[in-house]
Structure 1
Amino acid sequence: MKAPNGREMNMNRLAVFAAIVRAGSFTAAGRDVGLTKAMVSQHLARLEEELGVSLMVRTSRRMALTEAGSTFHADCVRILAETEAAIERVARDRQTPAGTLRLTSTTDYGVTVLAPALAEFIRRYPKLHVDLVLGDEIRDLVAERFDLSIRVGWLRDSSAHAMRLAKCRRWIVASPQYLAERGTPRTPIDLTAHDWIAAPLLPTPSRLTFLGKDGSHAIVRVRPVAQANSASAIRELVLNRAGISALPEYLVADDVRAGRLVVLFAPDHRLRAGGVYAVYPSQRAPAKVRLFIDYLRVRLAPRAQYLKPSP
């Protein structure tokens, strides 16, 4: 804010001035605001210099507001009260957020994980309206006015700010019927003799890097017989005996528990995990965004370990 002399004004001096009037002396005002008597006097002198008017008449025995000082003090009290109220509103909004939270994610993750999470979140904070937009394309958060994007896998370079919330493991899965017809691969290299359903969104759809329990690495080139840009579509292909694929654990955990799919190679060999990321356009995210990020991080924390493969 510019002072009448054209210089930038130090707004802290308003609080010091108000403290002087409230306390009745420089010494008492200094105790209230945590400054020395000399610093209080200096702040007042600088404030008067910036405004170009005398705010107080000071003698060795007393001090009194000038007419300009009295008017300016009333405005200072109002400004400081409004500032304090604004700070209180921000703090309150962090606990009870309101307004609209506009976020985006992939269709698969949004339906399977985000929608149930958001259902609980809006029950906790009924003043908050949620606008969830799903799709597999990368959105322009600024141009499309998104508060937040939840991305899964591997982040591309971006000017946005990102926070990793959890790991996203991918399991090698097949249907029991497929394995009964084609045999069960016992090691990753055995996949070369099997039909593979590729996911183009993976970093290397036809080349898999397995990590062993002993720290070893094995690179396997697979033979895709089909591909799809949707994890849900790949899941349907695998369930219907089209081949083997790598699918995110959040999407197939229930299938594995029910015996509809079988996890292969775990826990001896696993694929490198991707991540679940909160991506937001500005360095300082709004309170409603920070609160949802914290909520989602806690919700994702107890992720399941590899389920025991079916015999």
Structure 2
Amino acid sequence: MINHLKHMAIFARVVDEGSFRRAAKTLNLAPSRTSQTVADLEQYLGVTLLYRSTRKLVLTSEGAKFYTHALEMLKNAEAGLNELNALSQQHIGTLRISLPAFLTYSTISTAIAEFAKQYPKVTLSLMFTDHIVDILNEGIDMSIRVGWLQDSTMMSRKLYDGRRLLVASNKYLASKVTPTHPSDLLSWDWIRFDIRSSSVEFESPTGEKVSITENTRFSVNSADALSSFVKKHMGLAYLPEHIVADDIKNGDLVHVLPEWKLKSLGYYAVWPNKSRRENLTLLLVRFLAENC
């Protein structure tokens, strides 16, 4: 049985990565060796753990049960390693992290890079996507969520609040009468981020709150695309400040109704209640909270 503990670890990595090739790359093994290891494990157990196709791997019902036990084994092993690491003031292990794609160039990405430099024995695997990732099913150790957190089944820590700015191009603004109130924007063209509501709430310096609905016939599924089409003079959009700050400074975009505030976004670190790499996850969370 001891000889198959390594097989279990490789099987868990294959499931986490979703392919033999990606798992082999992270493990520094040949893909054929990784595939054969899982096949040997299936032969030893007498069951099929994974359905294989040219496009993806799918856990069988037996595989899903066995994966749970493999994760528990790895969690306990890593907990022991982390405990000794803490005593030796070293941190070793791998963390899988998901982040919204629009954070590719951000203070969070910069802080993660600094973390990697400070802890050179920690391996980081980053997944950038604008779609919400299922942390448990995809083997994610920590996810960065942006917005207003509602999921109470996970552990979380707020890192900071970030401003959103309403912007448009000079060319588009030249075709309109200069607005003085959010209601002036009702008939303007809006570019919508399709995973959020079409309702926009503004607050004036005196505390007046006004909610309007975007007049939109154009929507996109990424913040970078949102920024791109605003610069193509398609209309208004509101984006995180770090995405548009340079464009505003360079004059490519204009901050519309700058005296009216949009609701700030919360930036959160989210991780499973029973993280298999708890010490490393908490180490990264604390680092981000202190450096973002």
TM-score (normalised: structure 2) = 0.66
Partners of 2:169 and 2:225 in 1: CA distance: 15
Indicate which of 234, 243, 259 corresponds to 2:235. 243
Q: Is the 8 A contact 1:152 1:168 kept in 2?
A: no
Letter in 2 for 1:90: A
The residue matched to 1:103 in structure 2 has which SS?
Answer: strand
Cα distance change on mapping 1:91 and 1:217 into 2, 3 Å:
farther
1:107 aligns with 2:101: yes
Greater alpha carbon shift after TM alignment, 277-286 vs 255-264: 277-286
Q: 1:138-165: per-residue Cα shift (whole Å, max 9, x none)?
A: 2222222211000111334341111111
1:89 aligns with 2:81: no
1:214 aligns with 2:206: yes
1:86 to partner: Cα distance:
7.7
Partners of 1:232 and 1:143 in 2: CA distance: 27
Cα distance change on mapping 1:157 and 1:282 into 2, 3 Å:
closer
Q: Give the match for residue 178 of structure 2.
A: 184
1:256 aligns with 2:252: no
1:103 to partner: Cα distance:
0.6
Q: Give the match for residue 275 of structure 1.
A: 266
Cα distance change on mapping 1:199 and 1:299 into 2, 3 Å:
same
1:115 to partner: Cα distance:
3.5
Partners of 2:219 and 2:82 in 1: CA distance: 53
The residue matched to 2:282 in structure 1 has which SS?
Answer: helix
1:196 to partner: Cα distance:
0.8
Partners of 2:88 and 2:183 in 1: CA distance: 57
Q: How many residues align?
A: 212
Indicate which of 132, 137, 140 corresponds to 2:131. 137
Gaps of 5+ in 1: 1-83, 301-311
Letter in 1 for 2:123: H
Q: 1:110-152: per-residue Cα shift (whole Å, max 9, x none)?
A: 4545443322221111111110012222222222221100011
TM-score (normalised: structure 1) = 0.62
Identity %: 33
Partners of 2:187 and 2:179 in 1: CA distance: 9
Partners of 1:160 and 1:193 in 2: CA distance: 41
Partners of 1:225 and 1:186 in 2: CA distance: 24
The residue matched to 2:243 in structure 1 has which SS?
Answer: helix
Q: Give the match for residue 188 of structure 2.
A: 194
Higher relative CO (Cα under 8 Å, sequence separation at least 6) belongs to 2
1:162 aligns with 2:165: no
The residue matched to 2:175 in structure 1 has which SS?
Answer: helix
Q: Give the match for residue 142 of structure 2.
A: 148
1:230 aligns with 2:222: yes
1:290 aligns with 2:282: yes
Cα distance change on mapping 1:85 and 1:186 into 2, 3 Å:
closer
Partners of 2:82 and 2:244 in 1: CA distance: 47
